[in-house]
Amino acid sequence: MSGDWQPGQRIPVEHELATEYRCSRMTVNKALSALAERGMIVRRRKAGSFVAAQQIDRTVMDIQDISTEAELAGYQHDYQMLMRRIERLDASDAALLREPAGAEILRLQCLHLVDGKPNAIERRIIMLDAVPLARDEAFASVPPAKWLLEQVPWSKARHIIRAVSADAATARLLETERGEACLTLIRQTWQNGGTVTYVEITHPGDRFQFAGDFQPAEKDAFDHTTRRSAT
Amino acid sequence: MSGDWQPGQRIPVEHELATEYRCSRMTVNKALSALAERGMIVRRRKAGSFVAAQQIDRTVMDIQDISTEAELAGYQHDYQMLMRRIERLDASDAALLREPAGAEILRLQCLHLVDGKPNAIERRIIMLDAVPLARDEAFASVPPAKWLLEQVPWSKARHIIRAVSADAATARLLETERGEACLTLIRQTWQNGGTVTYVEITHPGDRFQFAGDFQPAEKDAFDHTTRRSAT
DNA sequence: TATATCTATTTGTATAGACAAAAGCGGGTC
DNA sequence: GACCCGCTTTTGTCTATACAAATAGATATA
- Distance from C-alpha of A60 to C-alpha of B165, rounded to nearest angstrom: 26
A197 vs B contacts (CB less than 8 Å): 231
Q: What pLDDT, on a 0 to 100 scale, did the predictor assign at position B95? A: 96
Does A196 contact B at CB distance below 8 Å? Answer: yes
Does B7 contact A at CB distance below 8 Å? Answer: no
- Distance from C-alpha of B113 to C-alpha of B75, rounded to nearest angstrom: 10
Q: How crowded is residue A66: how many other Cβ atoms within 10 Å of its Cβ?
A: 23
Nearest neighbour of A58 by CB, restricted to B60, B65, B196? B60
CB A198 within 8 A of CB A172: no
Check if residue B68 sits with its Cβ under 7 angstroms from strand C.
no
CA of A45 to C1' of C30 (A): 31
CATH 1.10.10.10 correct for A1-60: yes
Segment among A45-59, A93-107, B157-171 with least mean pLDDT: A45-59
CB B26 within 8 A of CB A191: no
Reference A108, options B64, B23, B231; nearest CA is B231
- Distance from C-alpha of A66 to C-alpha of B33, rounded to nearest angstrom: 28
Q: What pLDDT, on a 0 to 100 scale, did the predictor assign at position B228? A: 42
User: Which CATH code for domain A61-207?
Assistant: 3.40.1410.10
Percent of chain A with pLDDT over 70: 87
- Please write the tens of the pLDDT for every residue from B42-78: 999 999 999 886 555 667 777 777 887 787 778 889 9
Domain range list for chain A? 1-60, 61-207
CA of B226 to C1' of D21 (A): 29
- Length of chain A equals 231
**Rg of the Cα trace of chain B?**
23
3-state secondary structure of B145: helix
Q: Flag whether the ipTM exceeds 0.90.
A: no
Contact across the interface for B62 and A57, Cβ inside 8 Å: yes
Which residues partner with B113 through β-bridges?
A: B78, B118
- Reported confidence tier of residue A224, pLDDT bands at 50, 70, 90: very low
Handedness of CA B202, B203, B205, B210 (dihedral sign): negative
Q: Which amino acid is at B167?
A: D
CB A111 within 8 A of CB A121: yes
Check if residue B32 sits with its Cβ under 7 angstroms from strand C.
yes
Check if residue B85 sits with its Cβ under 7 angstroms from strand D.
no
CB A112 within 8 A of CB A118: yes
CB B65 within 8 A of CB B72: no
Q: Please count the CA atoms within 13 angstroms of the CA of A167 that sit on its side-chain side.
A: 3
CB A127 within 8 A of CB A194: yes
Overall fold of domain B10-58: Arc Repressor Mutant, subunit A (1.10.10)
Nearest neighbour of A59 by CB, restricted to B61, B149, B203? B61
Check if residue B11 sits with its Cβ under 7 angstroms from strand C.
yes
User: Distance (Å) from the C-alpha of residue A121 to the closest C-alpha of chain B?
Assistant: 15
